[in-house]
A and B are shown apart, each in its own frame.
Chain A
Amino acid sequence: MAAASIAAAPSTVGKPAPDFVLRGLDGRNLRLSEFRGQVVLVNFWSRSDGDSRQQMPALDRINITYQRAGLVVLGVSVDEDLRRSKEFATAMGVSYPILFDTGTEIGQDYFIQKMPMTILVDRSGVVRYSAVGFRRGDERVYLDHIRELLRE
């Protein structure tokens, strides 16, 4: 029943990734569509979510390994408390850009219902993979998809 409800949940997979522009931890603004031509992993996370905390170091390793191959990892915080979210992101010290979404539009565009949510966007800007939650070992699934998209 749960699987059926997940399958029926609206998804962006197969559709052009809704564009967004957000301010980053370093003060720069980044727009998703400006990474067209590269494979982009977008990770929506929340400071209060345990899975998100566990997932970030794994994504950091992926970023370090694959960024030279054309992968871009973007972490998007959806926390309302911007100050604490920034403190948390700084403490995590990941190598990829962390952006802050304090609105609701992006969450609606990507049908975010549970944290963390990870999506993969191919070089032409189409969402090719979407996953909700994180368990140890999920990074291997991400890698399979990433390698496939990088080869295209």
Chain B
Amino acid sequence: MNFKLRTLTLCAALLATGLAAGQTPPPAQTPPPATDAAPQPADAQATPPAPAPDAPPPELKTLDQEVQGLKKDVVDLNKDLFVLQEELLFPANTQVALYISMDVGTFFALDSVTVKIDNKEVKNYLYTAREADALLKGGVQQIYLGNLKVGKHELVAFFTGKGPVERDYKRGATINFDKGVGAKYLELKITDRVPKHQPEFMIKDWE
């Protein structure tokens, strides 16, 4: 099923690329051939109205609109396939999504996050300055999306970076959670504990 989806996505992408590259339009859109094969009269000088030099012929304009419509369809199809793929790969009854957010960040400069679920490392993410900055500006990143069976699980996250006064800093946070039949959403939160001048790391379970 996954292969089928990937194939469909690939086809859609290829179609989009082809259209973007200005490939030959479908035959139905080509200008109709001259039906009347009769020779032109000799005094044709007076008949042809001169077309405006800059205006595209109407059939080309229609064709362009149809190409734009097709491109939009391909984008929509791609989006639907992506959603379908996510639903198939990570069905709601086993889905676990982990997000990370950062509030203020005066006492901590994030460098990396390692996530373990049931003592198995599932994610190790290195942050560039730009990504850490995006989190500081209020961005929320989906750091992990996976599947877990129903039941009790343990998630441990390790945060490394620079703490107060530029010291190397490594802290962990743990959460024990119950995975029910619905999707599970967890959030790693990095906040400042102003009274102690220290960062704080929490894991929030979004019920």
- Chain A residues whose C-beta falls within 8 Å of the C-beta of B130 in the assembled complex: 31, 34
- Chain A residues whose C-beta falls within 8 Å of the C-beta of B126 in the assembled complex: 21-23, 29
B contact set with A: CB distance below 8 Å:
111-112, 126-131
Within the complex, what minimum Cβ distance (angstroms) separates A25 from chain B?
Answer: 15
Within the complex, what minimum Cβ distance (angstroms) separates A135 from chain B?
Answer: 34
A contact set with B: CB distance below 8 Å:
21-23, 28-31, 34
CA distance A91 to B85 in the complex (A): 49
**Interface majority SS (helix, strand, loop, mixed), chain A:** strand
CA distance A34 to B128 in the complex (A): 9
- Chain A residues whose C-beta falls within 8 Å of the C-beta of B127 in the assembled complex: 29
- Chain B residues whose C-beta falls within 8 Å of the C-beta of A34 in the assembled complex: 128, 130
CA distance A31 to B129 in the complex (A): 10
4 A-B pairs with the lowest CB-CB distances in the bound complex, closest first = A29-B126, A21-B126, A31-B128, A29-B128
CA distance A34 to B126 in the complex (A): 13
- Chain A residues whose C-beta falls within 8 Å of the C-beta of B111 in the assembled complex: 29
Given contacts A28-B129, A29-B111, 16 further A-B contacts (CB under 8 A): A21-B126, A21-B128, A22-B126, A23-B126, A28-B128, A29-B112, A29-B126, A29-B127, A29-B128, A29-B129, A30-B128, A31-B128, A31-B130, A31-B131, A34-B128, A34-B130
CA distance A44 to B130 in the complex (A): 24
**Interface majority SS (helix, strand, loop, mixed), chain B:** mixed
- Chain B residues whose C-beta falls within 8 Å of the C-beta of A29 in the assembled complex: 111-112, 126-129
Q: Which chain B residue has the least Cβ–Cβ distance from A33?
A: B128
Within the complex, what minimum Cβ distance (angstroms) separates A125 from chain B?
Answer: 15
Q: Which chain B residue has the least Cβ–Cβ distance from A28?
A: B129
- Chain B residues whose C-beta falls within 8 Å of the C-beta of A22 in the assembled complex: 126
CA distance A22 to B128 in the complex (A): 9
CA distance A34 to B133 in the complex (A): 13
Q: Which of A29, A30, A31 has its CB near the most chain B CB atoms (within 10 A)?
A: A29
CA distance A31 to B127 in the complex (A): 9
CA distance A23 to B125 in the complex (A): 11
Within the complex, what minimum Cβ distance (angstroms) separates B111 from chain A?
Answer: 7
- Chain A residues whose C-beta falls within 8 Å of the C-beta of B128 in the assembled complex: 21, 28-31, 34
CA distance A29 to B162 in the complex (A): 13
Provide 18 A-B residue pairs closer than 8 Å at the C-beta atoms, listed in order of the A residue: A21-B126, A21-B128, A22-B126, A23-B126, A28-B128, A28-B129, A29-B111, A29-B112, A29-B126, A29-B127, A29-B128, A29-B129, A30-B128, A31-B128, A31-B130, A31-B131, A34-B128, A34-B130
Within the complex, what minimum Cβ distance (angstroms) separates B12 from chain A?
Answer: 17
Q: Which chain A residue has the least Cβ–Cβ distance from B111?
A: A29
CA distance A86 to B130 in the complex (A): 24
CA distance A21 to B33 in the complex (A): 56
CA distance A34 to B134 in the complex (A): 13
CA distance A102 to B179 in the complex (A): 34
Within the complex, what minimum Cβ distance (angstroms) separates B77 from chain A?
Answer: 21
Within the complex, what minimum Cβ distance (angstroms) separates B199 from chain A?
Answer: 19
